[in-house]
């Protein structure tokens, strides 16, 4: 796996972790920011041909 692919997948995973933490903290602003970061990370990964699943707020 290339460095770019690893970096993109790590960004998606970090965004998911950040979103989970924001939801756990019950911080609506942090949830919105984290969801935007996840959406952006997934969009960028998909643009580079990676098939990543989106699991945002209330989704599994």
Positive/negative CA dihedral, 16, 8, 54, 47 = positive
> 27: left (phi > 0), else alpha (psi -120 to 50), else beta?
beta
Q: Mean of the per-residue pLDDT values for the chain?
A: 89
Q: Is the pLDDT of residue 60 over 50?
A: no
Q: What is the pLDDT of residue 55?
A: 62
pLDDT at 53: 78
């Amino acid at each position: 796996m290339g460095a770019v692919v690893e970096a993109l997948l790590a960004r998606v995973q970090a965004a998911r972790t950040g979103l989970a933490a924001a939801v756990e903290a019950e911080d609506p602003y942090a949830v919105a920011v984290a969801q935007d970061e996840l959406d952006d990370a997934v969009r960028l990964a998909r643009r580079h041909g990676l098939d990543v699943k989106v699991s945002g707020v209330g989704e599994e």
